[in-house]
Structure 1
Amino acid sequence: MWLPVPAAEVAGLPDPAATGLAYRFWDGGPEFPADPADCVFYVVPYMKGTEVAVRPLAAMTSLRVVQTLSAGIDHVTPGLGDVPPGVALCNARGVHEASTAELALALVLASLRDLPGFVRGQDREEWRAGFYPSLADRSVLIVGYGSIGAAIDDRLAPFECARVVRVARSARTTERGPVHALSDLPALLPDADVVILSTPLTEETHHLVDAGFLARMKDGALLVNVARGPVVDTKALLAETASGRLTAALDVTDPEPLPAGHPLWHAPGVLISPHVGGSTSAFMPRAKRLIADQLTRFTAGEPLRNVVLTTG
């Protein structure tokens, strides 16, 4: 079992003496902790990128489970062709929803009420009084209605939005209302004051937010991305923000990390946070509980949680 956290720090792990399995700590360093061929359960190091995530996969000939500590799996999928058939890939559903939803709302409110402008004003001892946009009475469109999108929806409830519209890959009905299919986006975008992206990065969603998508957004609308950077065409977004027609709040960017000198840093109306949606005090306790639960299930022969796909 390869873990990115020392086993002694994870409460509730199955007893290795009873299971015959050993725990090995690997957080993405240059040296592997043991022979990858002996690994049956691989918990991927968190926020270390694709190169680290997939590095041991080709040599893991006994592998049965890959467990990410992120909601997305796009950093792991490039290496799945090298693993044996029948390997379960599990994501970290239940770990990041609260933190990412918190940040999504923080970015919406900070952008609408121009909190960055207030900070700059305080630095310059300027009193920037006036009227600013409110989230109340606004229409919000959530693109990507999985567990994170639903958590964002839950936190929007007290803000008296005029309307919350939900979009996912396919249409369905939830307790909060209908969920539209992605194919409905062209008709829905012109009515949204705020568009929040919380969709996974797939072939279907890569550059989903392109020039055409942005052109359909109403004048003065806000785009918030807590999904993945490549969901948005950066060049197209820069064109819209440069004109002042749209504003944006981005926890993820393309490229990422955003290099010094990139035009996004100083684009008008753009607020950037450094991919910290899930990186909060809530992460580690929840991640450890997930690891312990999944390993308990695995050693007991019980169904795993959060299985996204099985290699074949």
Structure 2
Amino acid sequence: MDPPVRNALFDAAALERLAAVADTDPALVVRDFADPAHAEALERAEALLTGWGCPPVTAAALERMPRLRAVVHAAGSVKHHVTDACWERGLVVASAAAANARSVAEYTVASILFAGKRVLEARRAYRERRGAVDPLALLAGAGNHRRTVGVVGASRIGRRVIELLRPYDLELLLHDPYVPAVEAARLGARPVPLDTLARSSDVVTLHAPELPETRHLFDQDRLALLRDGATLVNTARGSLVDTAALTAELVSGRLRAVLDVTEPEVLPTGSPLYDLPNVLLTPHVAGALGNELGRLAHAALDELERYGHGLPFAEPVRVEDLHRSA
């Protein structure tokens, strides 16, 4: 991982625990598997504890790690660094994706509820009019009572969002081609086709993985299906949405959006999305940050400890699931 990532993830208590569960040097952070300074440590390594900034674990890298048997990722997706060569070697892989999902889901639920209350609109009016607002007139028709929320993707995050929204007085729709109707009902959502979800929802929240078949899942035609005044929440991947088409809808004022991810990421400095009053744009902060990073570190240490005791991972990453996961 990148050295600053290690410093953010592992406080003194986590580093002490790391030293207890593994024979390692907590100060050693490898950023380049080809660096001769790390050759001896890599040759002895049985497990890699990885994070953001880990270089790809290629066949050439694996040649330098003949004893390597496991990769434990203290973050979400492993697609950036776990290569086909890892699976061919037969490595076992785990990640802290479930721990990270909690943070993303909480951010998403807050965004959905704020969207229903039209918080951005209220803030702008209150600021511009210096308090001279009539909330009853300003927010007529706003609120979260019996609104419809469409969840696209029953991923870890999507399921957590549904779980957190169940106590509210909302109708929850779900589109996920891998989830049968009986499972959707068990989760607490009504399964519908994607176009039906787009037409029927006051808020649409995206939790699908970044795959060739999900690229521009919400293109110009599907965005046009959204109701006037609907809100699109994207905390998944920017590629799920056609940025140009969405920008046109937002500039027109027809839609609202909460965007924690974009394509490209970062947007050009001239993008109107930075300044539009109907857009909440954040720099990929929905996932674990600040004191939430400790949750990722300890989730990874839990897995490393299980491995050391000869137990299977609690949150394994399986190669056969990668075609439909982030």
TM-score range (shorter-chain normalised) is: 0.7 to 0.9
The alpha-carbon distance between structure 1 residues 208 and 68, as it changes in their structure 2 partners (threshold 3 A), is farther
Say whether 1:26 aligns with 2:18.
no
Show the 5 A alignment for 1:45-56.
Answer: 45-46=51-52, 52-55=53-56
Say whether 1:70 aligns with 2:81.
no
Q: 1:256 aligns with which of 230, 254, 265?
A: 265
Task: Return the alpha-carbon distance in structure 1 between the equivalents of residues 281 and 298 of structure 2.
Answer: 31
Cα offset, 1:20, TM superposition = 5.3
The alpha-carbon distance between structure 1 residues 118 and 86, as it changes in their structure 2 partners (threshold 3 A), is same
Cα offset, 1:235, TM superposition = 1.1
Match of 1:40 in 2: 46
Show the 5 A alignment for 1:123-142.
Answer: 123-124=127-128, 125-129=130-134, 130-132=138-140, 133-142=142-151
Match of 2:194 in 1: 185
Cα offset, 1:121, TM superposition = 4.1
Letter of the aligned partner of 2:81 in structure 1? V
Say whether 1:217 aligns with 2:238.
no
Q: 1:233 aligns with which of 242, 252, 265?
A: 242
Aligned identity (percent) is: 29
Q: 1:176 aligns with which of 187, 193, 206?
A: 187
Moved more, 146-155 or 105-114: 105-114
Task: Return the alpha-carbon distance in structure 2 between the equivalents of residues 253 and 205 of structure 1.
Answer: 14
Task: Return the alpha-carbon distance in structure 1 between the equivalents of residues 190 and 211 of structure 2.
Answer: 19
Say whether 1:95 aligns with 2:99.
yes
The alpha-carbon distance between structure 1 residues 128 and 27, as it changes in their structure 2 partners (threshold 3 A), is farther
Match of 2:324 in 1: none
Cα offset, 1:240, TM superposition = 1.7
The alpha-carbon distance between structure 1 residues 300 and 283, as it changes in their structure 2 partners (threshold 3 A), is same
Say whether 1:154 aligns with 2:163.
yes
Task: Return the alpha-carbon distance in structure 2 between the equivalents of residues 88 and 55 of structure 1.
Answer: 16
Cα offset, 1:139, TM superposition = 0.7
Task: Return the alpha-carbon distance in structure 1 between the equivalents of residues 212 and 78 of structure 2.
Answer: 13
- Aligned-residue RMSD, C-alpha: 3.2
Say whether 1:59 aligns with 2:68.
no
Task: Return the alpha-carbon distance in structure 2 between the equivalents of residues 304 and 213 of structure 1.
Answer: 40
Task: Return the alpha-carbon distance in structure 1 between the equivalents of residues 207 and 160 of structure 2.
Answer: 10
Cα offset, 1:282, TM superposition = 4.9
Task: Return the alpha-carbon distance in structure 2 between the equivalents of residues 260 and 68 of structure 1.
Answer: 33
Match of 2:109 in 1: 105
Match of 1:288 in 2: 297
- The runs of 5 or more residues in structure 2 that have no matched partner are 321-326
Contact 2:124 2:277 (C-alpha < 8 Å) held by counterparts: no
Q: Per-residue CA shift, 1:192-236, capped at 9, x if unaligned?
A: 111111222222322222122212222221110111111211112
Q: Per-residue CA shift, 1:245-296, capped at 9, x if unaligned?
A: 2211111111113342223213452111221112344522311221221111
The alpha-carbon distance between structure 1 residues 288 and 271, as it changes in their structure 2 partners (threshold 3 A), is same
Letter of the aligned partner of 2:173 in structure 1? V
Contact 2:93 2:316 (C-alpha < 8 Å) held by counterparts: yes
Task: Return the alpha-carbon distance in structure 2 between the equivalents of residues 219 and 201 of structure 1.
Answer: 27
Task: Return the alpha-carbon distance in structure 1 between the equivalents of residues 267 and 89 of structure 2.
Answer: 36
Q: Secondary structure at the match of 1:54?
A: coil
Moved more, 88-97 or 215-224: 88-97
Task: Return the alpha-carbon distance in structure 1 between the equivalents of residues 229 and 45 of structure 2.
Answer: 52
Moved more, 278-287 or 216-225: 278-287
Say whether 1:116 aligns with 2:120.
yes
Task: Return the alpha-carbon distance in structure 1 between the equivalents of residues 117 and 294 of structure 2.
Answer: 33
Contact 1:143 1:199 (C-alpha < 8 Å) held by counterparts: yes
Show the 5 A alignment for 1:263-278.
Answer: 263-267=272-276, 269-278=278-287
Q: Per-residue CA shift, 1:97-149, capped at 9, x if unaligned?
A: 33222211222233333323444445442533322521221111111112211
Q: Secondary structure at the match of 1:158?
A: coil
The alpha-carbon distance between structure 1 residues 114 and 53, as it changes in their structure 2 partners (threshold 3 A), is same
Match of 1:49 in 2: none
Question: Which contiguous aligned blocks of 4+ residues in structure 1 show a shift greater than 6 angstroms?
Answer: none
Task: Return the alpha-carbon distance in structure 2 between the equivalents of residues 291 and 234 of structure 1.
Answer: 35
Task: Return the alpha-carbon distance in structure 2 between the equivalents of residues 270 and 6 of structure 1.
Answer: 34
- The runs of 5 or more residues in structure 1 that have no matched partner are 47-51
Q: Secondary structure at the match of 1:127?
A: coil
Task: Return the alpha-carbon distance in structure 1 between the equivalents of residues 188 and 279 of structure 2.
Answer: 31
Moved more, 234-243 or 23-32: 23-32
Letter of the aligned partner of 1:206 in structure 2? R
Contact 2:214 2:240 (C-alpha < 8 Å) held by counterparts: yes
Letter of the aligned partner of 1:166 in structure 2? L
